[in-house]
Structure 1
Amino acid sequence: MRNIPVAEVDGLDRAVLAIGTDYPADHLLPWHEHRRAQVLYAATGVMRVETADGSWTIPTARAVLIPPTTRHQVTMTGVSTRSLYLEPAAVPWFPARCQAVDVSALLRELILEAVEMDPYYPEHGRDAAVAALLLHELRNLAPLPLDVPLPSEPRLRGLCEEFLDKPDIHDPPARWCAALNVSERTLARLFRRGTGLSFSEWRQRACVLHSLHHLTTGLPVTRVAALLGYDNPAAYTAAFGKLLGRPPTAYRQPRR
């Protein structure tokens, strides 16, 4: 199925529904939720998925698992998605919180094939076998550290969301302290309690994940490092590799 709302087929008696959707450039899918669990796969482009407790940056050929009834919004840059909508009873192992995952070559082909299936596929036969194999493969996905946790405290969360839109690796904690009217010790405590990370850890994580947007547009690594305020490309590359285990060039795509 392509470019149809999931609400039109949500009630079908099938454990797996697959929908392919093409979005315009720089599209925002506003806050919403689904009854079913969702596997949101980025066939092209990069997505930022936001929920009440975090932000997930999903580059091309990766996916995010979104639990049932989880309110979320998605910011898309050059994105074409392939989504699996799964009956909750069919995936009792599904995570309770969104999770970014790697996608194997086999799973990718299964997702692409499922989108071409008739939504009323017979309960026995080839298409049903594809759906069953999908459910099996989804249980063995490797998680990826592509999330930035967000605090619940409103003022701190607001500053975090502003930073995510325009990150700077040298943004000083003193600026945050002045905005919140707190000491650096209190800021450190708020960050640790709200995100599980220190301020510097959170800041670096946010910068690295934001850079995925630039890399997938083909921007040179030296330019990406400069945009984020790193002193040199080597410092940016080291931070990127520490978080994601691969160099930025592994995510970079040639400029169109």
Structure 2
Amino acid sequence: MTKSQQKDLEALHASRIATIEAASGPVFAIPTHYPSGYRVKPHHHSRAQLLYARTGVVMVTSAIGRWMVPPGHAMWIPPEVEHAVEMLGGVNMLSVYVQPRAVPGLPEALRVVALDDLTRALVVEANMQPYGRPDDARAGMVMALLLDSIPRLPEAPLGLPFPADPRLIALCRRFIDNPSPHLVIDDWADRLAMSRRTFTRAFRRETGLSLSTWRQQACLFTALPRLAAGEAVTSVALDLGYDSVAAFTTMFKRMLGSPPRGYFGSG
């Protein structure tokens, strides 16, 4: 990407934010296409965002963690939360922006959600509606049904929360730089001079996850961008330290619901 293209995309994003902030009505949808590798700088908006990458994979980063948004999923970003977005592959992003408290039950925290067929179709349809005509009857019905669907979306285990404790976060960042499926709880507990039980409680308190689940998700965060770029499953699995492709595939399917082969064509 040239500097001119980068500048044009940054100007487009600033213009989109202004449009979103000026929009009326409880729901506003707008599509955007981003090239592979583009990174939207840290920003925030007064509306919550349901971010759906119809093509490509998106990584969202905030001060408290990272979230991977693969096909078939969307990211819920509450209002006023500063975040950055990185594109892994060319991304056709369909976004729905929701006013705070538009309906009861909207999520209060960042999360990846699984999209059912109906909600996915509604997001696509909402992004095809004439957003310059908020009184359009058909658009109003689509937006109302979509708004009703959002609180019902199940959370998917695709977040990688960071602990606040500086000793724990140092261990986590080193692991992200060199992930492995063979991480042992006792090793990290010994480094921090903690018993296994004390460490386990501290890690779950800080991240909301067991170390085993966090480790698997960190491995996924390393694997997904490479798979999205077309790398062979075998090379990714072995580079991550898995003893076999079958072991990696089992983990991948358990976490994401389908095996890695062909996964990026399933969204």
Q: Same fold (TM over 0.5)?
A: yes
Q: Equivalents in 2 of 1:89, 1:193: separation in Å?
A: 28
Aligned amino acid, residue 65 of structure 2: G
Q: Secondary structure at the match of 2:123?
A: helix
Give the percent of matched residue pairs that are identical in Structure 1 and Structure 2.
41
Aligned amino acid, residue 246 of structure 1: S
The answer as to 2:48 corresponding to 1:37 is yes
Q: Equivalents in 2 of 1:165, 1:33: separation in Å?
A: 27
5+ long unaligned stretches in structure 1: none
Q: Secondary structure at the match of 1:229?
A: coil
Out of 9, 32, 46, the position equivalent to 1:21 is 32
The answer as to 2:76 corresponding to 1:65 is yes
Question: Kindly tell me: are residues 135 and 200 of structure 1, through their superposed partners in 2, closer, same or farther at Cα, counting changes over 3 Å?
Answer: closer
- Alpha-carbon distance, 1:189 to partner: 5.0
Q: TM-score, normalised by structure 1?
A: 0.84
- Alpha-carbon distance, 1:131 to partner: 1.2
Instruction: After TM superposition, list the pairs within 5 Å mapping 1:228-243 onto structure 2.
Output: 228-243=240-255
Q: Equivalents in 2 of 1:160, 1:30: separation in Å?
A: 23
Aligned amino acid, residue 160 of structure 2: V
Report how many residues are paired.
251
Q: Equivalents in 1 of 2:206, 2:123: separation in Å?
A: 36
Aligned to 1:208: 220
Aligned to 2:193: 183
- Alpha-carbon distance, 1:241 to partner: 2.8
5+ long unaligned stretches in structure 2: 1-11
Q: Secondary structure at the match of 1:107?
A: helix
C-alpha contact (below 8 Å) 1:151/1:157 kept by paired residues: yes
Out of 182, 192, 204, the position equivalent to 1:192 is 204
Instruction: After TM superposition, list the pairs within 5 Å mapping 1:78-117 onto structure 2.
Output: 78=89, 79-117=91-129
Instruction: After TM superposition, list the pairs within 5 Å mapping 1:79-158 onto structure 2.
Output: 79-123=91-135, 125-158=137-170
Q: Secondary structure at the match of 1:246?
A: coil
Q: Secondary structure at the match of 1:205?
A: helix
Instruction: After TM superposition, list the pairs within 5 Å mapping 1:169-180 onto structure 2.
Output: 169-170=181-182
Please give the per-residue CA displacement for 1:80-139, whole angstroms capped at 9, x wherever unaligned: 211111111313311111121122333223222222323232435111112112112223
Q: Which has the higher helix share?
A: 2
Q: Secondary structure at the match of 2:261?
A: helix
Question: Kindly tell me: are residues 165 and 107 of structure 1, through their superposed partners in 2, closer, same or farther at Cα, counting changes over 3 Å?
Answer: farther
Aligned amino acid, residue 48 of structure 1: M
